[in-house]
Structure 1
Amino acid sequence: MSTKTDKIDALGELSAVKQDEHGVSLWTEAFRRVRRNPSALVGMAILVLFVLVAIIGPLLAPYSPTDTMGIREGVIRPGSIPGPSAEHWLGYDHQGRDQFSRLLVGARQTLLVGIVSTLIGLTVGALIGGVAGAAAGLGGRVGRAVDSVLMRIVDMLLALPSLLLAVSIAALLGASLTTVMIAVGVVSVPVFARLLRGAMVAQSGGDYVLAATSLGVKRSRIALTHILPNSLAPVIVQATLTLATAIIEAAALSFLGLGNPDTSTPEWGLMLADAQPYLDGRPGLAIFPAVGIIITALGFTLLGEALREALDPKLRK
């Protein structure tokens, strides 16, 4: 009798749940892993610094980024552009404007282009991928037809080199900052569409989908309220990585002369393009904006890779 009682007590102890133990969500657990990842902390520090510079940069700039003071003061001469000094930390540019002030103010334009273009690609891509994924999950002749048509359109976009597609769109729409955002955003559409569609198709075979179906929940409701929310994690991670690519591609379009035609408005890619004729005498005109682009892209990449590693069980260390 005592043996039976002991077994019952042991089973009771194993099944008991402590009051202070609670389950955590996927994002909470991922955030804990990210906080312990040195690469993620470095990337986050870079991004925080970049965002702060973009927000308060115009307030910190010692001079107006459009003031051609060097020409007015007569210090800019043919073949001679003064370098760094105590008054001008990074020197003048070719039009006598303070390079440090332009670098600070240009961070805002660079961040704006990266965020807006990524949001364009994320929104349009998620719409296409969500519809295709829901159609594939619903099955039937109509669902398969919708999925096939949408994915063939995405395949055509993926078949074109990203930079060539962006240049073509920018050339058709005309040089402007808005054009750069649209062109870079369109380039990232097929990536988001393919990723979300694949995640939704994979989630459609989950046990929770089978349980909801057995309870009589409509397939369309399952796709929108169950499958779609559980498929967003890889898309959000990809958005972080795409921000880095968007900044680089926007700089490339500005470098090719397809960006903002107003050269007085500072932007890192445009500053790189303006510096090309003066590389022999003043390489710093190109080095400083290039380093800014590289470090910012590195920050987004480090954080994005850390998020992907934290959310994907196969990549967790």
Structure 2
Amino acid sequence: MNTSTNTETVTTPAPKPILADTPWRRFARSFFDDKIAVVGLILLLLIVTLAILAPWITPQNPYDLASVDLMDSRLEPGEQTMDGFTAWIGTDGVGRDLYSGILYGLRISLAVGVLSGVIAATLGMSIGLIASYLGGRVETIVMRIVDLQLSLPAILIALILVAALGKGVDKIIIALIVVQWAYYARTVRGTALVERSKEYVEAAKSLGLSKTRIVFRHILPNCLAPVIVVLTVQTAHAISLEATLSFLGVGLPQTEPSLGVLIANGFQYMLSGRYWISFFPGLALVLTIVSINLVGDRIRDVLNPRLEK
């Protein structure tokens, strides 16, 4: 008598791959633990997205003279323009739609802040690294120049430079680079002084590596964390400086879109009750600066464990 047994093969599911806990994932987890910083990041991404899409989501190009009608001057929020679209937040003194003007102005303000910050950071980091590594007379001269510049108000230096260079986006960027580079130079120099005395630098020297390679391939990566924090703060500072200079009439010309120019255009109408011409551009400027600062503060806390605790 033959007996047969049925054997069932039990298959166990393959284990899910475990993602490596990279520094970026640890940074992201720590960053998103702060709800206020998340709100700031969402707001900043929304502002940047609106600024990028401005030519496609605005009813007019406010700086195209063919699309502006003086009959639309100083319309209140919600009124209809001569072209048939609704000016949801009103128009300014020359008939430009404020919603369109703000989004176009954000494009310039963000571009000026980011470009001047990145160029100033590159210049300041290079000078700070070279000064800290060479030491001696070079470091002394560089740091005295940095101390002299940081002892003067940034707005004063910017006003002098813009007055000498003239109006224009490129002139504003040059002025802001000169204003900002010293912050990066001092930050990197202080960090590099600590790094250059560590064992990995001594090991690189013993291997016969060139000074340039040691500075930019070994010391520089360890100086980037504080630079990122300074970059976020200085970007917001650059945007506010550009708006201040344009408001004072020495920054961008009236034909260029800028939040500072929009605020200045409505200042003369404030006493007559037409608050919206300055209020909404000012609100956009405040929200932009606050969102950048919220993100920058959280980055600072995450990169410095003592502050995060």
Q: Do they superpose with TM above 0.5?
A: yes
Is there any run of 5+ residues in structure 1 with no aligned partner, and where?
Answer: 1-18, 137-143
C-alpha RMSD of matched pairs (Å): 2.1
Deviation at 1:221, TM superposition (A): 3.6
Q: d(CA) in 1 for partners of 2:41 and 2:292?
A: 8
Letter in 2 for 1:192: Y
Deviation at 1:288, TM superposition (A): 0.6
Which residue in the other structure is 1:7 paired with?
none
Which residue in the other structure is 1:16 paired with?
none
Q: d(CA) in 1 for partners of 2:196 and 2:91?
A: 59
Task: Choose 265-274 or 242-251, whichever is displaced more.
Answer: 265-274
Is there any run of 5+ residues in structure 2 with no aligned partner, and where?
Answer: 1-16, 80-85
Q: d(CA) in 1 for partners of 2:44 and 2:72?
A: 36
Which residue in the other structure is 2:34 paired with?
37
On the 8 A contact 2:128/2:186 being kept in 1, the answer is yes
After TM superposition, the score normalised by the length of structure 1 is 0.83
Which residue in the other structure is 1:83 paired with?
76
- Answering whether residue 304 of structure 2 is matched by residue 312 of structure 1, we say yes
Q: d(CA) in 2 for partners of 1:215 and 1:260?
A: 52
Which residue in the other structure is 2:266 paired with?
275
Counterpart among 170, 177, 182 of residue 178 in structure 1? 170
On the 8 A contact 1:120/1:186 being kept in 2, the answer is no
Q: d(CA) in 2 for partners of 1:132 and 1:239?
A: 20
Q: Secondary structure at the residue paired with 1:119?
A: helix
> 1:155–1:124: structure 2 CA closer, same or farther, 3 Å change rule?
same
> 1:218–1:105: structure 2 CA closer, same or farther, 3 Å change rule?
closer
Q: d(CA) in 2 for partners of 1:220 and 1:176?
A: 36
> 1:75–1:215: structure 2 CA closer, same or farther, 3 Å change rule?
closer
Task: Choose 299-308 or 86-95, whichever is displaced more.
Answer: 86-95
Identity %: 37
The one-character-per-residue Cα deviations of 1:120-156 (angstroms, maximum 9, x if unpaired) are: 31122112112112213xxxxxxx1111111111112
> 1:258–1:212: structure 2 CA closer, same or farther, 3 Å change rule?
same
> 1:218–1:103: structure 2 CA closer, same or farther, 3 Å change rule?
closer
Q: d(CA) in 2 for partners of 1:287 and 1:274?
A: 11
Report the number of matched residues.
284
Task: Choose 27-36 or 250-259, whichever is displaced more.
Answer: 27-36
After TM superposition, the score normalised by the length of structure 2 is 0.85
Counterpart among 194, 198, 220 of residue 228 in structure 1? 220
Q: How does 1:231-250 map to 2 (within 5 A)?
A: 231-250=223-242
Larger helix proportion, structure 1 or 2?
1
On the 8 A contact 2:62/2:68 being kept in 1, the answer is no
Which residue in the other structure is 1:47 paired with?
44
> 1:124–1:221: structure 2 CA closer, same or farther, 3 Å change rule?
closer
